[in-house]
Amino acid sequence: MIVRNIGDEEVLETTYVAHGGAIAQMILDRRTLKEIGFLAIAMLAPGKTIEAHVDPMEEIYFIASGEGEMSVDDETRHVKTGDAIWIPTGSSHALTNDGTEDCVILVVASPTR
């Protein structure tokens, strides 16, 4: 069993700016995982945007708290706490925090086989 906390040194040392907007950290990644690409947490401040980008893997964004406008390809929807968004491999996606509080997102990614 491996247990990681978002305050652990090995998580904090992975801190980076994700696609121009969110502050993100890898909770679990390929250093540990065998089949899943990664589990990350990201914080998107009010008014900030995770810029549109395409990843070579299937992803799920889970809104742990906050809200925003999520775009996947040509579709845009309002998302809020508790929503899970499936992003197919190769789809352009972006998220803008249009709320007044931080938007906290968990991201799970799975590489194509």
Q: Which two tokens stand for residue 80?
A: 């809020």
In order of their start, the domains of the chain are: 9-111 (2.60.120.10)
Dist. CA 79–CA 83, nearest whole Å: 6
Strand partners, 63: 105
CA-based nearest residue to 71, from 98, 46, 97, 94: 94
**Furthest CA-CA distance within the chain:** 40
- What is the separation of C-alpha 59 from the centre of its chain, rounded to a whole number of angstroms? 8
pTM: 0.93
Q: Which two tokens stand for residue 16?
A: 């980076």
pLDDT in tens, 1-44: 999 999 999 999 999 999 998 999 999 998 889 889 999 999 99
Residues constituting the chain: 113
Instruction: State the DSSP code for 45.
Output: -
pLDDT at 104 exceeding the cut of 90? yes
What does the pLDDT average to over 77-92? 97
* Three-state DSSP state, 12: helix
pLDDT in tens, 47-79: 999 999 999 999 999 999 999 999 999 999 999
Q: What confidence tier does 83 reach under pLDDT thresholds 50, 70, 90?
A: very high
